[in-house]
A and B are shown apart, each in its own frame.
Chain A
Amino acid sequence: MWEFRDKVSVAGVGYSKLSRRPAETLATLTANAVDAALADAGLTRSDLDGIATSPSMPRYGGLRGATEGIDVVTPWHLSELLHVTEQINWTGSTNGMVTQSFIEGAMAIAAGVCNHVIVYRALHVPEGRYINFDSQYAVGPEQFTAPFGFSMPPAWAAVIMRRYFELYGYSREDFARFIADNRANTCLNPNGYWRDKPMVREDYLAARMIADPMSILDCDIPVDGACALLLTSTERARDLRQPPAFLSGFAASTYPHPTGTVMTLETLWEGCEQTARRLWETSGLGPQDLDNAHLYDGFSIFVPLWLEGLGIVPRGEGMAFLRDGHGALGGKLPINTGGGALGEGRLHGMSHLAEAVLQVTGRAGARQVPGAKRAVATISNGLVKATAFIFSGGS
């Protein structure tokens, strides 16, 4: 078990407005989210001594440059924006997903390097199509995918969903309830991008196909905006404004991608299972200890695979669990109570961590799971760079 279990906490949660193509720059939105997280904790910029993120701008094909303050906000730029350059002891910037930075931030607290660390994710929706392989040549590993049209992430997820459907006899009808329930959760979340757009199962079944069987409603919604979390020691957190959400354990995947294709159902299961083993080992907990779950839904199909990889249900039964409503608010294990990336917006897992924190500290408002004390959050798909976390509330 992790020596620092429950000794590092999240003490503040902050969001910018989440919208598409707003008037503000990403720099402004990021500063707004950080100020909101600090204010939530009862702190100010002068308390900050660590900043971390993964400042990547995901694009697939075509132009890939990134402009500071517009497409990305690096921790160095942010420290200038906030006028805190003199007081920052440590900055983190990972190539992996932003939640790797969250782990590093927790370690910076545990090691005594920092007292108050902000971990944030800022994302920008670029002009034009997000996914558009408009180069005439495909180089490197892409020479084996892009000439066949296999350059877009929704298609990568589609082959996973197809194989899962074929192996167990599921169809999109079995997924419709979860997607509709997820939107209902979003409508209870004041931050949610789709909060004013309720939907029903039939909307899902009629949704525009991207790569069959993946529709537009199986993809997360890209937003301009940022989410920031304030990490500190649990000891310190007890003196701050909000109840602390203890970090009870975490795990990072090192499970490799398959070769010859982007991902397979089997490697995703194996990666989720490896991540889960590490998570249960560091936290000393298991699936039976959870009362809410925040499972990565950059693509919808990852949700049942995480349910299975975490050992909440056996392989092949995640979809049935969702179909039967066990993941809804009021169900056995409410999932993505804030609407996840599908409904709240794409923030690469930060909103999953934020929602877990709000739930275990009783701050989730109209979507609060009564008495919630222990949440899991999983990010990405189980392969390398995936992460998972347990947050606990209470004394």
Chain B
Amino acid sequence: MVEEADTEILRPLPYPDELTEGFWAGVRAHRLSIQRCARCRHWNHVPTIACYKCAGEDLAYEPVSGRGTVHSWTELIDSPGPGFRDMLPVIVGIIELEEQERLYLTTNLLNVDAGRLKLGMPVEVTYEQVTPECVLPQFQPVT
């Protein structure tokens, strides 16, 4: 392979918008917060303009505990894009947050070997500084 220019190719970075800025602002401050419906108190993720349960539009970010369990996972062997090429294998976990049944968050699972993962394994949030401006929420086994 020909060496590319030495600019580092990063994983895709989240591009916050009006709807999602509250989520990412929380994460930058190392706080996991999820949109919640003022009317029916349902937690909504990914952020939405209308509550998934009652269609209410009065939604605001509220902090959650950052604890959950492993619903499922996969270990990425083939690169999903150029920014991951030097990071593989990467584990993707589907996390069910403890606040509500089927309240899922998709992140990477850090500090664990894929062979040790189990369905229902308790995990907690941690934060990964990807660039000076970008923090990603990640999960790891409860220590």
Give A residues with C-beta under 8 Å from B.
61, 131-152, 154-155, 158-160, 162-163, 166-167, 208-214, 258-262, 264-266
* Cβ–Cβ contact A159 & B72, under 8 A: yes
* Cβ–Cβ contact B104 & A259, under 8 A: yes
Contact with A along B66-88 (1 / 0, CB 8 A): 00000111111110111110010
| A151-B14 contact, Cβ under 8 Å, with A143-B20, A159-B73 | no
B15: chain A residues at CB < 8 Å are: 137-139, 143
| A148-B72 contact, Cβ under 8 Å, with A136-B10, A141-B46 | no
| A149-B90 contact, Cβ under 8 Å, with A134-B81, A260-B104 | yes
Which has the most chain B C-beta neighbours within 10 Å: A143, A158, A260, A261? A260
Q: Is B48 on the interface with A (CB-CB < 8 A)?
A: yes
Q: Is B25 on the interface with A (CB-CB < 8 A)?
A: no
Q: Is B12 on the interface with A (CB-CB < 8 A)?
A: yes
Number of interface residues of B (CB under 8 A): 44
* Cβ–Cβ contact A151 & B81, under 8 A: yes
* Cβ–Cβ contact A209 & B136, under 8 A: no
Q: Is B126 on the interface with A (CB-CB < 8 A)?
A: no
B80: chain A residues at CB < 8 Å are: 61, 131-133, 146, 149-152, 155
A-B CB contact pairs (8 Å), 16 listed = A137-B12, A137-B14, A146-B81, A148-B92, A149-B80, A151-B80, A159-B72, A209-B78, A211-B74, A212-B77, A259-B44, A259-B46, A260-B103, A260-B104, A260-B105, A260-B106
* Cβ–Cβ contact B94 & A159, under 8 A: yes
B90: chain A residues at CB < 8 Å are: 148-149
Which has the most chain A C-beta neighbours within 10 Å: B45, B80, B83, B119? B80
B106: chain A residues at CB < 8 Å are: 144-145, 148, 150, 260-262
